[in-house]
Amino acid sequence: MDLKKTVYLVLFLFLFSILSACGENPSNDKNASSKKTTELTISAAASLKDALTDIQKTYEKEHSNVKLRFNFGASGTLQQQISQGAPADLFFSAAEDKFDVLVKEGMIKKSEGINLVGNDVVLVVPKDSEAKISTFTDLSKSSIKKISIGTPEAVPAGSYAKESFKNMKLWNTLQSKLVYAKDVRQVLSYVETGNVDAGVVYKTDALISKKVQIVASADPKTHSPIVYPVGIIKDTKHKKEAKAFYQYLQKPSTVKTLEDYGFKKNS
């Protein structure tokens, strides 16, 4: 092969390698970005666990680039965690006052929060209970030794229970019998295992358990309105995805799922 042909061949191979590199890199970058998954952290009240786990399955099927990670617990505890800098993209509270703390602290914009659903407070006993409890007043009987409620300062359901007991003129009588729990699910567990004679939980929690029975519902007039607000954390690093899930929670089909678990549509 003469020198001229050799030079042409070398130039051709050089240009081909450059064009190939230019053609491959954008494609690879595009594929890499399309496969990137965004993880959203939602701090949510323990009473929402079953409903949100159900909603999660549907949402992740429809949004393959998003992974939902839930941090379930007592609303008061979750609010304190967020106030102290714990990472979260959304907050779904079981009480307005806990939610309003974050609004006042500037961690949630008022325009990016909404009262989504409501709930009821009920009195439950073990399924096989022989204790004759059919009303809240029955809790004052000497035969009833232990009653569980959530810690009022941190657990909204416990706060509502305390309010109801006070308005029913039962608080002073029942205080010595109370067993406090870290969240509403722990109250439910105490009742399920028979460690207490009765407990006060949300209707939604009672409905998912086959080991307890509802014997009474608290009159809504005996406690503050039970409202579940949800909002976007202002400093979220995933604003687009957080807003999309926030809007998804408000869809009629999603609210219907929450209603299926016993929650009440916010009027």
33 labelled ligand-binding: no
10 labelled ligand-binding: no
184 labelled ligand-binding: yes
Angle at alpha carbon of residue 49, lines to 45 and 53, rounded to 5°: 135
Q: Is 11 in a helix, a strand, or coil? A: helix
202 labelled ligand-binding: yes
Q: Which structure tokens are listed for 152?
A: 């009022």
Instruction: List, in sequence order, every residue forming a beta bridge with 115; answer none if it has no partner.
Output: 229
Cα(first)–Cα(last) distance of the chain, in Å?
87
Neighbours of 214 (CB within 10 A): 15
Give the per-residue SS3 of 71-118.
EEECHHHHHHHHHCCCCCCEEECCCHHHHHHHHHCCCEEEEEEEEEEE
190 labelled ligand-binding: no
Best CA proximity match to 154, nearest among 70, 66, 76: 76
Per the annotation, binding residues are 47, 75, 157, 184, 202
Per the annotation, binding residues for molybdate are 47, 75, 157, 184, 202
